[in-house]
Every structure is written in C-alpha cells, then in structure tokens.
Structure 1
Amino acid sequence: MKLFASLTSPYARKIRIILAEKGLPFELVVDSPWEVNTRIPSVNPLGKVPALLTNGGEVFFDSPVIAGYLETLNVSPHLLPREPIEAVRVRQIEALADGITDAAVAMVLESRRPEAKRSDDEIAHQTGKIGRALDELERRATGRHWLHGDGLSIGDIATGAALAYLDLRHPDYDWRAAHPALAALAARLFARPSFIDTKPPVG
C-alpha cells in the first residue's frame, strides 16, 4: 500500500496511527496539495490528503473512508465494533473529532489571509464549533478510559489527532483547562508509540 500524505496533515496522521496500531506495512509518499508540483490531484480528484493506493491498485480517500477500508482487512486490533450500531456510534465520535480538525484548519487558513480580508467573525464561528465539540467529547470521556467500549477505537485516534493539531496550530487555545477527561485521554494517547512516531514537524 502507498499512503499519500503531508507530514503535518492531522487527517493523514490519523491514518498513519491506524496503520501503526495494526502493524500494516505501507510506503509513505510525502506530498502536499499546496506544493506547485504536487501529485495529489492525480490520485485524489479532490486534491486532498490522505489518499491510499491499495495493493490491488484501488485508491481510497478521504480519512474516514480509508479508516473504514483498513477495518475490512480484518487485522487486529479491530478499531470499530463488530455490532453495526456500535460501529456507527464510534463513527459519530470520529465525526466530532474530525469536525474539530476541520474548524481548526479553517482557522489556520483564515488567519493566513491578508489582514484586510481576514474575518474575525469567521474565526469566532470556527472557535465556537471547536468549543461545542470539545464539550461533547468531554462528556463522553468522563469516567471512561476510552471514548467507547473497553479498547482503543477510531474515535479515540481521531480525537487524539484533533487535539494534537490544536496544540500544533493553536497553542494558545487552552482546551485542557475545561476538559480534564479529554486531557487525561490525550496524555494516554500521546504516550503511545503510534502517536510518538507520527508527531509532525514543527513549523
């Protein structure tokens, strides 16, 4: 398998963590959609990372789809419950976490616009999304070791990737103070080799 990814993409990091947790071999093709000579549009018509090229020559994108595909390979640990409704519940957690990431990325892009075109209202709008999603994840994390069930899931991995991205791109956003259960979960996740080995470069 080949994974086309940027080293700073939180969505790609989520998939890299899943691959590491499952011990699945793959070739990492480092590329960014923002580079002049990027190859990403030829792999994913949406021009986004990550994109996964399977051994059979099929391409899957984006990260929730890739995560779902990797579960079909039936490689332990299983990161989605076998019971369909429980799997949907884990995917809901993943959607919450990915929503935090979406909003955090939107804030980065908005902040990079020329000052005259920058919208404080848009940044506030995205910040509101992050706050509400963090509150919901905190509710789900309170009193639990994992966000769902008795083991690591895609929901936990997506949440860890989102929280790490907040630390990377929005270090002044103190999400830990009001979310102690999430802070404890993040500390456990960030200590795992899969998270340590995929830590993005600073800058």
Structure 2
Amino acid sequence: MKLIGSLTSPYVRKVRIVLAEKKLDYELILDDPWGPATQLAAHNPLGKVPCLIMDESGSLFDSRVIVEYLDTLSPVGRLIPPPGRERLEVKRWEAVADGIMDAAAAAYIETHRRPADKTDPQWVERQMAKIHAALDYMNTQLGEQTYCVGVNLCLADIAVGTALGYVDLRFPNLGWRAKHTQLDRLAEKLNTRPSFANTRPPEA
C-alpha cells in the first residue's frame, strides 16, 4: 500500500498512527496538495490528503474511510468495535475530534494563506469557538476514564490525540491544557506511544 500525504496534515497523521498500531507495511509518498506538481488528482478527484493507494483495488480517500478499511486488514489491536453501542461511541469521539481538526485547519488557512486585508476575523473567531466548545465537551466526556471508550486504546483515542496535536501545532499559544486537565492527561499518555512519537509533525 502507498499513502499519499503531508507531514503536517492531522488527517494523514491519524491514518499513519493506525497503520503503526496495526503493524501494517506501507510507503509514505509526500505530496503538497496546494502545490502545482501535486499528483493527488490522479488518485483522488477531491485533491485532498490522505489518499491510500491499494495494490489491486484502486484508491481510498477521507481518513475516516481509510482507517475503517485498515482496521479490517489485521486482527492485531482492533481499533473499531463491531456494530453496536460501543462502535457508535467510538465514531462520536472521532466526529468531534475531526471537527476540531476541521475548525483548526480552517482558522489557520484563513490567517496564514489569505492576504491580511481579506481575512475575516469573525470567521476565525467562529472556528476557534468550535475548538473551545469541542475541547470542553471531550474533557467532560473523558472524566476519569483511562481511555475515551473502554479500557484499551481505540480509534477514538487516536482521533482525539491527533486533534490535540494539531491544535498544538497550529495554535501553540492556545493554552488548552490548564482548563482541560483530563485531556492533557490522555494526550501525555498517548504521546509516549511510538505510533504518536514517530508521526509528530516536524514543526511541533
């Protein structure tokens, strides 16, 4: 398998962490979706990372689709429960974590890729409000639990850890840890895992 992506994309990192936890071999192909030489269009009509190229079955895109497929390839460390209440809980955590990444990416693009005179402060404020609300929600939901769902690492934890890492990368002065001590505890634990340590963005 080949994974097309960038080192700073949180969605790519989520997939890379799953690949590491599942002990699956792959080749990482670095690509800048914003650059003129991007090769994504040949594999993903949306021109977005991550994109997983499979040996015989074409390509998959969208991190949520990719990680669900990857979890079926090996019985090692199942990350997504079978259909039922627990699976819904995992997917809910993933949805909130992905929402944080969506909002953080939107705010970063607005403030760093648009001319200053065309930046919309209200748009940025709205995205940051989403991040703060989601952090509050996740911190409350986590409480004193060791992991987001159940007693073992699952996709929910990977998604949350990736989202928190991306917030740190793009908004290092946000200072979310002081108010969200439960999430801070989880993040510190996750960051000691090789899958997280080895995929840390270069700017972090």
Common fold by TM > 0.5: yes
Mean Cα displacement is larger for which, 167-176 or 67-76? 67-76
Q: Deviation string for 1:107-146 (max 9, x for gaps)?
A: 1111021111111101110011001111111012111010
1:149 to partner: Cα distance: 0.7
Alignment correspondent of 1:25: 25
Counterpart Cα distance in 1 of 2:152 and 2:55: 29
Q: Which runs of 5+ in 2 are unaligned?
A: none
Question: Structure 1 residue 90 and structure 2 residue 90: aligned?
Answer: yes
Letter aligned with residue 144 of structure 1: Q
- Counterpart mapping for 1:174-193 below 5 A: 174-193=175-194
Question: Structure 1 residue 114 and structure 2 residue 115: aligned?
Answer: yes
Alignment correspondent of 2:54: 54
Moved over 6 A (4+): none
Letter aligned with residue 3 of structure 2: L
Letter aligned with residue 156 of structure 1: D
Alignment correspondent of 1:197: 198
Alignment correspondent of 2:44: 44
1:85 to partner: Cα distance: 2.7
Letter aligned with residue 51 of structure 2: A
Alignment correspondent of 2:162: 161
Provide the alpha-carbon RMSD of the alignment: 1.1
CA gap 1:85/1:56 in 2 versus in 1, 3 angstroms: farther
1:201 to partner: Cα distance: 1.1
1:87 to partner: Cα distance: 1.1
Q: Secondary structure at the match of 2:29?
A: strand
Counterpart Cα distance in 1 of 2:87 and 2:139: 20
Letter aligned with residue 146 of structure 2: H
Counterpart Cα distance in 2 of 1:141 and 1:85: 17
The percentage of counterpart residues that share the same residue type is 46
Counterpart Cα distance in 2 of 1:19 and 1:74: 10
Alignment correspondent of 1:105: 105
Alignment correspondent of 2:137: 136
State whether residues 94 and 158 of structure 1, in contact with CA within 8 Å, keep that contact through their aligned partners in structure 2.
yes
Letter aligned with residue 118 of structure 2: K
Number of aligned residue pairs: give it: 203
Q: Secondary structure at the match of 1:29?
A: strand
Alignment correspondent of 2:73: 73
Give the TM-score taking structure 1 as reference length. 0.97
Counterpart Cα distance in 2 of 1:55 and 1:156: 29
Letter aligned with residue 91 of structure 2: R
Counterpart Cα distance in 2 of 1:79 and 1:151: 9
Counterpart Cα distance in 2 of 1:55 and 1:139: 42
Letter aligned with residue 137 of structure 2: E
Give the TM-score taking structure 2 as reference length. 0.96
